Structure 1
Amino acid sequence: MFTGIIEEVAEVVELTRENNNLHLSIKAKFTPELRIDQSIAHNGVCLTVVSLDEARYTVTAIKETLSKTNLDQLKKGSTINLERGMKLGDRMDGHIVQGHVDQTAICIAVEEAGGSWNFTFEYDPELENVTIEKGSITVNGVSLTVVNSAKNKFSVSIIPYTYEHTTFKTLKTGDLVNLEFDVIGKYVKRISEFR
């Protein structure tokens, strides 16, 4: 489990393909604290540490993950939002995030708003995911509040701290992002389908 509060923006230092898998090696400040088998959210995607040394660690994304996320678009030198798994008993400053990306979206607008930024995203409505006004959404692993909710698009407002401490500072119109919709909303939607 995660909270959507980004711990570090790190660099992808190596990408290796093996059959349908993609091994990502990441240089992160917290690498010396890691161990094999730990879960880390990478742009909101929960992946398991499979190897590490003092300077970097490696995770593997399989075909299923690559087909539903933006990880396949990463290149050597790309930056990525990272969050380690939640510790039991910690404060939960974001919202409940599983690290299971539901689908991707395209950034269709970026507007500077006098010290903050508004980002608008459009996603495929065929998967029937929904947002609600003032509800929670995870964009590339960042816990955010929805504004301007519509059938297949929504906006988020980004404060300067979040802008500077996540990959939002490099996000531009046309970029693909990972979305994880609010888990409580997903359960409510599913239950209502059976009534």
Structure 2
Amino acid sequence: MPLILFNKPFQVMSQFSSHPERETLSDYIDIPNVYPAGRLDADSEGLLLLTDDGKLQHDISHPRRKQPKTYLAQVEGEASEEALERLRKPLDLGDFVTRESEARLIREPGWLWPRNPPIRERKNQPTAWLALTISEGKNRQVRRMTAAVGLPTLRLIRIAIGPFSLATHPVLPGEWREVDPLELEK
């Protein structure tokens, strides 16, 4: 019962079936019968967990058992304390209200790989880096949250799911490694 940590590159689809225009998981992972436990949209990068165990997949991704997920978001604009406080509290996104989350301003991580292609840069528009931890995972939720507080996301990287993080289990974009699924229980 393998548990695979994969660092999904930008623009790769979180699926094994072919896509007419983009790379998919099958371009990087050649292990039979493993499936993603959750998704990460094509515009986002970072940690994706895969397994061949249906129960484990369910335990990782089911809303009642969802593991907290931590993201680094490069946003357009300057992140005020007011904007960060709005991100921490339940936020009405129209079709649902988010749960409380953790949000803080950080320095640009020195260990972060360059994105290919790079994000667009505007000389007159500052950017900021945020670390956000959420306990749910609705479609494009972090992007929608930052936009709702006036800080559109330029780059989004998931760096942790539950106990698994790119800091403690480093893998470069497009690479994967197998880990012990029992770490989820710690």
Decide: shared fold, TM above 0.5: no
- TM (norm. structure 1) is 0.28
